[in-house]
Homo-oligomer: A and B are copies of this chain.
Amino acid sequence: MQKATADKSDPIAAQLAPVGRETVQDRVYSELRRALIGGLFEPSQVLTIRGLADALMTSTMPVREALGRLITEKALEALPNRSVRVPPITLERMDDLLRARILIEGEAIALAATRMTSRQIATIESMLGEWDEMRALKQKKDVDREVTLNQAFHFEIYRACGSAVLIPMIESLWLQSGPCIRVAIYAFSDAGEVDTAHYHRTIVKAMAAQDAKEARDALVADISRPFTFLRSKLEAEAKKGISA
């Protein structure tokens, strides 16, 4: 029908952009999302529409829509000045985020534990090797790759939980805790060893055994670590910097 005519009249153009031509607005949204999860923006940093539009080489229109969406996800914050910024880190907010993540991601991994196929388990198992590989040449602390790999590992599991409701909520939580995590990972690198691989190994073992409770506990230990670390760091700073 209409599709047939389009195919007949211009099959080549249809081939070039066959399925879902992505809109500029989606591209901008994904870009900002990735930057936020990766912690490329600093907490309390203010973002301007025109500034981002220039940086992303587009007009203001897609940017303002993307910012609006990120604000509703609480990934950004709308100030009364009508300007938007990355939410600042506070101890209360960190505890709040961690509690929500334990609750929801814990539920997701428990669901996934009984649903993951051996194919999917093999996938996350293969990801463990990349940590060792990265540790081998760790003269350069590649924080970006750490963040990316960690994200891929977790969401490969969460996707298996089979809940179209929980997964977007987890994405929103990662978006909100992104800036904190980046700060924590930097602090980690200074402090000592990055033993993410160990925690992930424990998770994989539990998933392979289809042990939901064990998997949940291992996950809680994994995601709590950067938060508790950053918490002690912030408390120490607050103690010595009360004057500020």
Contact = CB atoms under 8 A, between A and B. Distances in A.
Interface of A: 20, 23, 25, 64-65, 68-69, 71-74, 80, 82, 93, 96-97, 99-100, 103-104, 107, 163-166, 168-169, 172-173, 176
A72 B74 contact: no
A237 B82 CA distance: 49
B96 A163 contact: yes
Given A20-B80, A104-B104, A107-B103, A164 B69 contact: no
Nearest to A177: B165
A20 B81 CA distance: 9
A20 B23 CA distance: 33
A104 B173 CA distance: 13
Contacts of A100: 163, 165-166, 169
Closest 5 A/B residue pairs (Cβ): A69-B72, A100-B165, A96-B165, A65-B68, A96-B163
17 contacts: A20-B80, A23-B82, A65-B68, A68-B68, A68-B69, A69-B72, A73-B73, A93-B164, A96-B163, A96-B165, A96-B166, A99-B165, A100-B165, A100-B166, A165-B173, A165-B176, A169-B169
